[in-house]
Amino acid sequence: MTLLHAHDYGGDGPQLVLLHGYSRSLTDWDPSAALLTAGHRVLAVDLPGHGRSPDISPWTLPGVVRDLADTLDAHGVPEAVVVGHSLGGLVAVEYARANPDRARARAAVNLDGFWWGREYPGAERVSEGLLASSGAIASPGYIEEQVANAARLGISAERAEAATRTAARPLPDGRWQTLPERAAAGEILDELHRLGALGVTTWVDGVDRPLLLVQAVRRLPPAPGHEWFDEFNARFASDLSEQLATLSRTRPNISVDRIDASHPTIPETPHAVAALVADFVRGLPG
């Protein structure tokens, strides 16, 4: 049994469990969680190898789902709507798949947590970039650099600094180590490519709990020298949009929505995220 680091935001009402994205931590949820506690009990969890949670080996989605279930049991959470962003969104859907009755998973929300197969054009370049940045040793100025990058997305310096500090590991000499570790990053990418190769329509087959699948539709600001990534994102977004439209017509347990944000949805638009989640939960069967 591996218990994951969690933060209980309190609140009363239907239970929400919040999961963050790749290389992030539960701190990303602070602004949205503060809004959601008005009508929900809210618990956020650091995924394995992220934030203050321990590493697991191998890093597999079934293993993460088991650890998440054990962690929720330890916090007295028998039933929840699991809400995840990016990697956390995929975990949320897999948690609902592994818990097909309401005894654990009332529903799941996936905020822009979609991936591609290993053979998808450009996928190898994306993987190389993620692996190169995982477990890397960054300079003492790492926090300031990340705050400056977040400002391009309209994220406040205070929010960006808090989230960056909890998503990386401080070293005694003032430098920082990014998370997850490189070995775990490779295993995470293997899992993502495995699911991504199925396509969204096939991936969600067999998930009978109510699902909300949300696509972020704003393009990331182009970075000099990375124009290829902008083209990659645009092509994948178009493919994904078509698949989600099909699901919204053919699967009565699946709701599809779009949010006016780029991929870092939670820190960019915390109010919109909170409203979207609250509206979905409000509409669930009693």
Terminal CA-to-CA distance of the chain, rounded, Å? 32
Contact indicator for 118, 192 with CB cutoff of 8 Å: no
Q: pTM for the whole thing?
A: 0.97
Three-class secondary structure of residue 211 per DSSP: strand
Taking only the tens place, the pLDDT of each residue in 51-100 is 999 999 999 999 999 999 999 999 999 999 999 999 999 999 999 999 88
Query: What is the residue-averaged pLDDT of the chain?
Result: 96
In total, the chain counts a number of residues equal to 286
Q: Is 225 exposed, middle or buried (0-12, 13-18, 19+ CB in 10 A)?
A: exposed
DSSP string, 8-59: EEE-SSSEEEEE--TT--GGGGHHHHHHHTTTSEEEEEPPTTSTTSPP-SS-
189 within 8 A of 130, measured Cβ to Cβ: yes
Q: Which residue's structure tokens are 């920082």?
A: 176
Q: Is the CB of residue 40 less than 8 Å from the CB of residue 11?
A: yes
Q: According to the model, what pLDDT value does residue 93 have? A: 98
Tokens of 24: 């992030």
Q: Is the pLDDT of residue 103 over 80?
A: no
pLDDT of residue 102: 73
C-alpha distances (whole Å) from 230 to each of 110, 116, 223, 237 are 22, 15, 8, 10
CA–CA separation, 38 vs 60, rounded Å? 34
Q: Which of 126, 2, 136 is nearest to 69 (CA)?
A: 2
Percentage above 90 pLDDT, the chain: 93
What is d(CA 73, CA 21) in angstroms, rounded to the nearest whole number?
22
Order of strands, edge to edge, in the sheet holding 168-170? Answer: 137-138, 176-178, 168-170
Please tell me the predicted confidence (pLDDT) of residue 83: 98
pLDDT for residue 37 is more than 90: yes
Q: Is the pLDDT of residue 39 over 90?
A: yes
Question: In the beta sheet, which residues pair with residue 82?
Answer: 17, 108
What is the reported pLDDT for 52?
Answer: 98
Q: How far apart are CA 194 and CA 208, in angstroms?
A: 21
Q: Is the pLDDT of residue 50 over 90?
A: yes
Of 125, 127, 60, 138, nearest in space to 98 by CA: 60
Q: DSSP string covering 124-189, please?
A: HHHHHHHHHHTT-EE-TTHHHHHHHHHHTTT--HHHHHHHHHHHEEE-TTS-EEESS-HHHHHHHH
Task: Name the band, by pLDDT with cuts 50, 70 and 90, for residue 209.
Answer: very high
Q: Tell me which amino acid residue 28 is.
A: D
Q: Does residue 232 carry a pLDDT above 90?
A: yes
Residue-wise pLDDT tens digits, 10-26: 999 999 999 999 999 99
Reported as a pLDDT band with limits 50, 70 and 90, residue 212 is very high
- pLDDT over 70 percentage in the chain: 100
Maximal C-alpha separation, the chain: 56
What would you report as the CA-atom Rg of the chain, rounded to the nearest whole angstrom?
A: 18
With cut-offs at 50, 70 and 90, classify the pLDDT of residue 184.
Answer: very high
Q: How much is the pLDDT for 221?
A: 81
Contact (CB, 8 A) for 2 and 22: no
How confident is the model over 225-230, as a mean pLDDT?
86
Q: Which residues pair with 107 in a beta bridge?
A: 81
- What is the bridge-based pairing of β-strands 105-111 and 137-138? unpaired
- pLDDT one-digit tens code per residue, 120-147: 999 999 999 999 999 999 999 999 999 9
pLDDT at 222 over 80: no
Residues 6+ positions from 201 with CB-CB distance below 8 Å: 243, 246, 247
pLDDT at residue 1, rounded to an integer: 80
